[in-house]
Amino acid sequence: MMSAVMENAIEVTGLRTHYGQREILKGISIAIPRGKTSVILGGSGCGKSTLLKHLIGLLRPTAGKIAINGRDIAAMDEEELNRVRRKMGMLFQGAALLNSLTVAENVALPIREHARLNESTVMIMVRMKLDLVGLSGFENFYPSQLSGGMKKRAGLARAIALDPELLFFDEPSAGLDPVTAAGLDDLILKLRNVFGITIVVVTHELPSVFTIADYVIMLDAGEVIFSGILDDLRNSQNERVRMFLERRPETKTYSPDDYFRFIVGD
């Protein structure tokens, strides 16, 4: 039988995070299955983006363990963490392209930084990645010349430049029209199906969730209220889950802590 470490690419245990005296993540424990697309779902202020920052090592937790391929990144020094990050790709919400560089130069950045290859090989790799995301022929364009969807695709080409084992997306559909968002969803599915990459997507966009998710983790106010496959999410009787899926408005009165979470704890 395959071990739990082999079955799960990431295992989070008892993760707690504080911003000052406020607790944002409240001892959550989750598992991210290997070779699948896992969606971290929830409303504004639930803690999903904070969790993502922990998974890629941008934040250190107050307590808890974040095991990637069986190794706790929360206990690593910066040099060890950087070695782990080389096996990760990340598409940020705004694509985070450098405006002074062409699309090809943006995609080439991680290759030049981490791989000792001659320039002709670098450019072959760049063209392959751009072709994979549907941007063949746009090598010499600058980010300002691209549409929002094309910027996301260029950012994705850079994220997969070094053939990562783990690929993270932060709100990939944000700011995109429905057709462009659907095209990006199809690309995520292609990366999972063809390359077997473990993909983690943070989103609150339900159409995307129902298209790409193999596994769903739902947060509410810093706690896990659901984790499981998509069919189980649809059939969940948890009231908070039902409210989210049915788009029922919140009726509670918010406290200052709630507003703080909306600002920094998403």
Residue 19: predicted pLDDT: 86
Q: Under CATH, domain 4-87+164-264 is a member of which superfamily?
A: P-loop containing nucleotide triphosphate hydrolases (3.40.50.300)
Give the pLDDT of the chain (266 residues) as one tens digit per residue.
344 445 899 999 999 999 888 899 999 999 999 999 999 998 888 889 999 999 999 999 999 999 999 999 999 999 999 899 989 999 988 788 999 999 999 999 999 988 888 999 999 999 999 999 999 999 999 999 999 999 999 999 999 999 999 999 999 988 889 999 999 999 999 999 989 999 999 998 899 999 999 999 999 989 999 999 999 999 999 999 998 888 877 766 656 666 555 555 55
Cα gap 51→60, rounded to integer Å: 10
CB 31 within 8 A of CB 11: yes
DSSP β-bridge partners for residue 201: 39, 169
User: What ranges in 24-147 are assigned the alpha helix state H?
Assistant: 48-55, 78-85, 103-114, 119-132
Residue 105: predicted pLDDT: 96
Ordered by start, the domain boundaries in the chain are 4-87+164-264
Residue 174: predicted pLDDT: 84
* Structure-block tokens of residue 83: 């070695």
Residue 43: predicted pLDDT: 84
C-alpha angle 31/35/41, rounded to 5°?
50
Which amino acid type is present at position 181? A
